[in-house]
Amino acid sequence: MSCRIKFRPILLAFIFGTVGIALTSGALAYQASLIPASRLINPDELVKILQSAKSEKPLMIQVGSHVLYTQAHIPGSEYIGPASSESGLQLLRKRVEPLPRSKFIVLYCGCCPWSHCPNVKPADDALRAMGFTNVKVLYIPGNFGMDWVEKGFPVAKGD
Amino acid sequence: MKKWILLGLALIAIAGLYFTTRHHGVPTGTRGKGIAEQSLAPDFSLPDLSGQKLDLSSYRGKVVLLDFWATWCDPCREEIPHFVELQKRYGDQGLQIIGVSMDDEAEPVRDFYQRFKMNYPVVMGNAKTGELYGGVLGLPIAFLIGRDGRITAKHIGATDISVFEREIATLLRVK
C-alpha cells in the first residue's frame, strides 16, 4: 500500500515532466524569440551599414521561402532556402564553409511574425556551431512586407 | 502535499513558457496596406493540387475567402482547421474558401491537405500572384471577397476566427 502511495507521485511527475519537455522542446526548437538581443540587428541599423562607405558590408542571406524572396528582398542578399529544413541548412553550410569565421553575416527571413519564424534560429544556430563569430539576425517583428518594404527600405525583385 | 504544490507550480511554469513562446508578439488580424479594399480582386488561373486550373473569376457570385498560406507557417497551420469548419458551416450558403499555397513545392502541400482533411481547393501560388495582391510578403494573409468580386477586407497575420465569421456572415446576407 505504501509502495503504491510513493509510486503515484513519481509516475505522475514523470508523465507530466515528459509531456512538458516534449511541448517546450518542440516550441523552442525554432523560436526566433530565443535569439539573444545581442545577436539581433534592426532594419534601420542594417540600412545605415549598407549605406555607409566605411562600414564592412555583410554577406546577407535570406533563409525563407523562394516565392517571398522573388517578390522582394534586400538588394545584394542571397537566397539559400528555408533553414527550417535539413536541405536548407545544408545549402547554408555549403555556402559559408569557405568563408573566414570572422565574416560579417546577416541572416533574415520575414516570412511570419518573429516568434513564429521557423527559419532564422536554426540558421543562426548552424552558423554558430560552425564557429562564425560575427553573425547578426535581422529583427523583423511582423513580416518583411510590413517591416521592410512598407518602411521604404531598399528592395530588389526577382531571382 | 508540498510535493504536489511544487509539481503544480512546475506544470504552470512549463505551460506558461510553452504558450509564451508560441504566441508572444504575434500581430493578429492587422489590416494591411497594398491592394485597396473595394477594388476588384485580381483574377488568376493557377493549378490546384491535382493539376487542374482554378480560375478565381469562376467563383463570382460567391463569397470568397482567399487565404495565402504555407505548410511551414505556424500561424497559417493554426487557422486551417477553423477554415475547414467555416467551409462546412457556410458552404451551402455561398462561401468558398480558396487556399493559395506559397510553398516552393507542391508535395508537402498535398501531404498537409490529406492530413488536415481540407475541404476546399488549394492552388500553388507564385511571386506573380503575390504581386497581383499587393505583395504577399509575410504569411498568413487573407482577403475577403464579396459576391460582386470586390475585396472587402485584408487580414495580415493570424486572425481570430470570429472576425472572419462575422465578416463572412455579413457578406453572405448580400444577394
Assess if residue B89 is contained within a domain.
yes
Assess if residue B10 is contained within a domain.
no
Residue B125 belongs to a domain with what CATH number? 3.40.30.10
Q: What's the rounded Cα separation, in Å, for the pair B80 and B117?
A: 10
Assess if residue B53 is contained within a domain.
yes
Partners of A110 on chain B (C-beta within 8 Å) are: 137-138
pLDDT of residue A25: 43
pLDDT of residue A128: 97
Q: Do A20 and B10 touch (CB under 8 A)?
A: yes
Residues of chain A with pLDDT under 70: 1-30
Helix or strand run (H / E) with residue A79:
strand A78-79
Assess if residue B16 is contained within a domain.
no
Assess if residue B13 is contained within a domain.
no
Assess if residue B150 is contained within a domain.
yes
Domains in chain A (CATH in brackets) are: 31-149 (3.40.250.10)
pLDDT of residue B27: 41
Q: Do A20 and B138 touch (CB under 8 A)?
A: no
Instruction: Say if B29 is an interface residue toward chain A (CB within 8 Å).
Output: no
Residue range(s) defining the domain that contains residue B140: 28-173
> Residue B52 pLDDT more than 90?
yes
Instruction: Say if B24 is an interface residue toward chain A (CB within 8 Å).
Output: yes
> Residue B20 pLDDT more than 50?
no
Burial (CB count within 10 angstroms: exposed 0-12, middle 13-18, buried 19+), residue B133: buried
> Residue B65 pLDDT more than 60?
yes
pLDDT of residue A31: 80
> Residue B124 pLDDT more than 90?
yes
Looking at the partner chain, which of B17, B23, B33 has a beta carbon nearest the beta carbon of A24? B17
Q: Contact A118/A28 with Cβ under 8 angstroms?
A: no
Q: What's the rounded Cα separation, in Å, for the pair A27 and B22?
A: 7
The predicted complex's ipTM stands at 0.72
Q: How many CB atoms lie within 10 A of CB B161?
A: 15
State the cell numbers at A1. Answer: 500500500
Comparing alpha-carbon positions, the chain B residue that sits nearest to A23 is B18
Place of cell 457556410: B90
Pairing between β-strand B95-101 and β-strand B122-124 as defined by DSSP bridges: parallel
Distance from CA of B36 to the nearest CA of A (A): 15
Q: Which residues contact A42 (CB under 8 A, 6 or more apart)?
A: A138, A139
> Residue B78 pLDDT more than 70?
yes
**Chain centre distance of CA B88:** 15
Distance from CA of B90 to the nearest CA of A (A): 29
Q: What's the rounded Cα separation, in Å, for the pair B37 and B143?
A: 9
State the cell numbers at B127. Answer: 511571386
- Per residue in B2-16, pLDDT (tens digit) is 666 665 655 555 554
Q: Do B136 and A150 touch (CB under 8 A)?
A: no
Q: What's the rounded Cα separation, in Å, for the pair A81 and A59?
A: 15
Q: Contact B79/B158 with Cβ under 8 angstroms?
A: yes
- Per residue in B84-105, pLDDT (tens digit) is 999 999 999 999 999 999 998 8
Number of domains within chain B: 1
> If interface means Cβ-Cβ distance under 8 Å, which residues of chain A face chain B?
9, 12-13, 16-17, 20, 23-24, 27-28, 31, 33-34, 65-68, 70-72, 82, 84-85, 110-116, 118, 141-146, 148-150
Place of cell 488580424: B29
- Per residue in A101-136, pLDDT (tens digit) is 999 999 999 998 898 899 999 999 999 999 999 999
- Per residue in B135-163, pLDDT (tens digit) is 999 999 999 999 999 999 999 988 999 99
